[in-house]
Amino acid sequence: MFDLIPFEQQFFRPFDDDFFGVHANSVLPCRTDIRDEGSQYVLEAELPGFRKDEIKVNVKDNCMTLTAQHKEENEQKNNEGQYVRRERRVTSMGRSFDVSDVQADKISARFENGVLTLTMPKKEAAKPLPTEITIE
């Protein structure tokens, strides 16, 4: 486990890092729960602070990618229109999932109260072919 967190990054962070050591423009993973409900999987991803139009879900080659990006600007000017303070922040989150066991064309999505819910029907199991051979 200690191989995953280099010693230098824990104790000698660059000055531009925020309190938690995350760069302002880095991509964070979103918290995700996946339930197996028999005929389908239900994925719930927490995306607090994001709007529906800032979230993208794409499927390509049995890989589903979930990304969200939020841009925020805060400007304050004095009476002459000069900046006293101007801040910009970009927050990005993303995850990728193997969906080889899912009917990708039938995935449905709903976004409510900061939680994206994806309902993913499973592919039907291949039925075994009969093995009896008729003799002529």
Kindly list the distances between the CA atom of residue 36 and the CA atoms of 3, 115, 125, in Å, as whole numbers in the listed order: 32, 18, 15
Domain segments of the chain as ranges: 24-121
Please check the confidence at residue 115 and state whether its pLDDT lies above 90: yes
CATH number of 24-121: 2.60.40.790
Could you report the per-residue pLDDT of 61-109, keeping only the tens digit for each?
999 999 999 887 777 777 776 766 667 777 888 889 999 999 999 999 9
Instruction: Say what the pTM is.
Output: 0.64
Q: Mean pLDDT across the chain, nearest whole number? A: 77
